């Protein structure tokens, strides 16, 4: 346990004093709440009679002592509201202990209290609660970093340091309640997407998080061990192969919101644990999927924000369909004047070196083209743009392009220079799929630790026959970043992964 500050010692002494008075600072009984701060402020003036008896609970955020009375402010989940406490009314008899000791001496900023009373408007015009009953619900033993302003107008104790906010999200949500809106919108985003899919009669499912073989994406997995079975297991890097097994099994459309885990670097757009939505629909292709995605995103963002536009820094992103479509080769040529089509591995490596793009010996043609695209093209893709038709080496699970040799039917959706969606016309030829896996094993032998493994059970499922299918994955964290105008993924994760503090 850390050494206690002076303020923490005072609060613990107050806790002991309350207990000596017979007041339980953490009472077990439920406290009935029939109103909240937002509702009261919104509706009181139009219907004052409805607020003659309210019961509300919240965190004490400010006290302004006036002797035998005081004004204070409490904060509940919906906002803040002023309260008025008069000693003779909360303590109608001769014993004024509750007010003089409990409220004035032993209650602190951060304590959670319950109160009953009626709503009125002060002479200054502020809607407030006149308190008739007051009760301690939870004693706060650690002082909040409440912002203070000195005589010179300088502010102190603002809880704005990003690292501290991420490490202590509970404090961030208390003292920076505006940040709650980010997570409200994240929840709304998932809800609206789910509503859209359910209207189409696509089934929400759950697939294994612990997998005997990692697959469905090019990524380094987290590895663990199951003692009872004495086998290695992996935290999933994708749920694609299991969802496609369900298409084989006869479902026309399945989707899943779930956590994925990739043992990779961390930065402003990557966290080792992230949320993905994947959906697979039978008898469709990637062209149909592009139309579905832009229709769905325009509707979802309009429902949440009121219009299809979002502001991210200096960029106003417009999600109104249709979105621009540009092949990967054409995008590279447009933004670099270098035509990658038909280039050998050595020619691509030479170009990468000329542009100071970091490469290594494990990279084949597809990986090199991906590095060129990521290093020189992505930053230009601000408005929603579909990048289509990828090299076959980059995408071992997508169907070969119907007209362009060496490519597959794949798109990624880029917005504000970040990829937020990835989709294929799914490969359903088991013989072709086996060859693709074998090619991945060759890349692994060259040192590519992100190459896929041979999944014999998935191949067996394809041999039973999978209908023509289109699949899509959307990164919920990155989409939430766009929706809420955030530049760092940690801002949209309630508890992002952090490096442990050195003790």
Average pLDDT rounded to a whole number, residues 229-245:
94
Q: Please give the radius of gyration of the chain, using alpha carbons only, rounded to the nearest integer.
A: 29
Average pLDDT rounded to a whole number, residues 172-180:
94
Residues with Cβ within 8 Å of residue 449, at least 6 apart in sequence: 220
pLDDT of 68 strictly over 90: no
Give bridge partners of residue 413 from the DSSP assignment.
Answer: 386, 421
Burial class (CB in 10 A: 0-12, 13-18, 19+), 80: middle
CA distances from 24 to 28, 373, 498 (A): 9, 63, 36
pLDDT of 66 strictly over 90: no
pLDDT of 397 strictly over 80: yes
SS (HEC) of 162-213: HHHHHHCHHHHHHHCHHHHHHHHHHHHHHHHHHHHHHHCCCEECCCCCEECC
Please check whether the domain covering 6-144 is classified as CATH 2.40.50.140: yes
How much is the pLDDT for 29?
Answer: 94
What average pLDDT does the structure give for the chain?
Answer: 92
pLDDT of 403 strictly over 70: yes
Tokens of 82: 């002023």
Q: Of 255, 210, 254, which Cα lies nearest the Cα of 236? A: 210
**What CATH code would you report for 179-323+383-492?**
3.30.930.10
pLDDT confidence bin for 95, thresholds 50/70/90: low
How much is the pLDDT for 102?
Answer: 75
Where does 423-475 have alpha helices with state H? 430-445, 456-463
pLDDT digits (tens, 9 = 90+) for 282-315: 999 999 999 999 999 999 999 999 999 999 989 9
Where does 209-362 have alpha helices with state H? 240-248, 286-305, 328-336, 345-354
How much is the pLDDT for 96?
Answer: 64
Q: Of 254, 234, 302, which Cα lies nearest the Cα of 453? A: 234
pLDDT confidence bin for 137, thresholds 50/70/90: very high
Residue ranges covered by each domain of the chain: 6-144, 179-323+383-492
Q: Is the CB of residue 350 less than 8 Å from the CB of residue 360?
A: no
A 10 A CB-CB count for 387 gives 25
Average pLDDT rounded to a whole number, residues 226-230:
94
How much is the pLDDT for 364?
Answer: 86
Sole residue written with tokens 């001769």: 94
C-alpha to C-alpha distance for 382 and 155, rounded to whole angstroms: 36
Pairing relationship of beta strands 222-226 and 148-149 according to DSSP bridges? unpaired
How much is the pLDDT for 159?
Answer: 87
Percent of the chain with pLDDT over 90: 76
Q: Is the CB of residue 114 less than 8 Å from the CB of residue 57?
A: yes
How much is the pLDDT for 158?
Answer: 76
pLDDT digits (tens, 9 = 90+) for 319-329: 999 999 999 99
The number of CA neighbours under 13 Å toward the Cβ of 496 is 21
C-alpha to C-alpha distance for 83 and 14, rounded to whole angstroms: 22
Q: Is the CB of residue 290 less than 8 Å from the CB of residue 410?
A: no
How much is the pLDDT for 361?
Answer: 84
pLDDT digits (tens, 9 = 90+) for 349-375: 999 999 999 998 888 898 899 999 999
Angle, helices 430-445/456-463, rounded to nearest 10 degrees: 160
How much is the pLDDT for 220?
Answer: 87
How much is the pLDDT for 114?
Answer: 95
pLDDT of 2 strictly over 80: no
pLDDT of 80 strictly over 90: yes
Find the helix or strand (DSSP H, E) in which 237 lies.
none
DSSP 50-90: GGSSEEEEEEEEEEEE-SSEEEEEEEETTEEEEEEEEHHHH
Counted residue by residue, the chain has a size of 503
pLDDT of 48 strictly over 90: yes
What separation, in Å, do the N-terminal and C-terminal C-alpha atoms of the chain show? Answer: 12
């Amino acid at each position: 346990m850390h050494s206690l500050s002076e303020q923490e010692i005072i609060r613990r002494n107050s806790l002991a004093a309350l207990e000596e008075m017979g007041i339980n600072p953490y009472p077990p009984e439920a406290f009935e709440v029939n109103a909240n701060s937002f509702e009261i402020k919104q509706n009181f003036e139009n219907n004052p009679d409805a607020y003659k008896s309210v019961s509300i609970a919240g965190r004490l955020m400010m006290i302004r002592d006036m002797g035998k009375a005081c004004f204070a402010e409490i904060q509940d989940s919906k906002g803040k509201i002023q309260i008025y406490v008069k000693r003779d009314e909360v303590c109608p008899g001769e014993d004024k202990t509750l007010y003089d000791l409990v409220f004035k001496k032993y209650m602190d900023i951060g304590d959670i209290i319950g109160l009953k009373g009626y709503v009125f408007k002060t002479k200054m015009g502020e809607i407030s609660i006149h308190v008739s009953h007051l009760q301690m619900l939870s004693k706060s033993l650690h002082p909040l970093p409440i912002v203070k302003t000195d005589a010179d107008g300088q502010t102190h104790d603002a809880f704005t340091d990003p690292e501290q906010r991420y490490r202590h999200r509970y404090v961030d949500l208390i003292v920076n309640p505006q940040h709650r809106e980010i997570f409200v919108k994240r929840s709304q985003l998932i809800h609206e997407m789910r509503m859209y899919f359910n209207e189409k009669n696509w089934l929400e499912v759950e697939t294994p998080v612990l997998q005997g073989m990692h697959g469905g994406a090019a990524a380094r997995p987290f590895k663990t061990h199951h003692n009872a079975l004495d086998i290695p297991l992996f935290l999933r890097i994708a749920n694609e192969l299991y969802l496609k097994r369900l298409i084989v099994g006869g479902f026309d459309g399945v989707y899943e919101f779930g956590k994925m885990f990739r043992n990779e670097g961390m930065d402003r757009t990557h966290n080792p644990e992230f949320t993905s939505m994947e959906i697979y629909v039978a008898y469709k292709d990637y062209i149909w999927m592009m139309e579905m995605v832009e229709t769905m995103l325009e509707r979802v963002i309009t429902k949440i924000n009121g219009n299809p536009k979002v502001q991210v820094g200096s960029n106003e992103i417009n999600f109104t369909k249709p979105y621009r479509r540009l092949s990967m080769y054409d995008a590279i040529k447009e933004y670099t004047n270098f035509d990658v089509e038909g280039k050998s591995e050595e020619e691509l490596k030479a170009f990468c070196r000329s542009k100071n793009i970091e490469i290594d010996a494990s990279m084949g043609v597809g990986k090199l083209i991906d590095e060129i695209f990521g290093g020189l093209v992505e930053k230009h893709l601000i408005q929603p743009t579909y990048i289509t038709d990828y090299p076959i080496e980059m995408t071992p699970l997508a169907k070969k392009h119907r007209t362009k040799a060496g490519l597959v039917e794949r798109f990624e959706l880029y917005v504000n220079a970040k990829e937020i969606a990835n989709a294929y016309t799914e490969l359903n030829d088991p013989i072709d799929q086996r060859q693709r896996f074998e090619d991945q094993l060759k890349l692994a032998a060259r040192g590519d630790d992100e190459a896929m493994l041979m999944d014999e059970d998935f191949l067996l499922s394809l041999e039973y026959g999978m209908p023509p299918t289109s699949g899509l994955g959307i990164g919920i964290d990155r989409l939430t970043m766009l929706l809420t105008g955030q530049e760092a993924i940690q801002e949209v994760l309630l508890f992002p992964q952090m490096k442990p503090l050195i003790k």
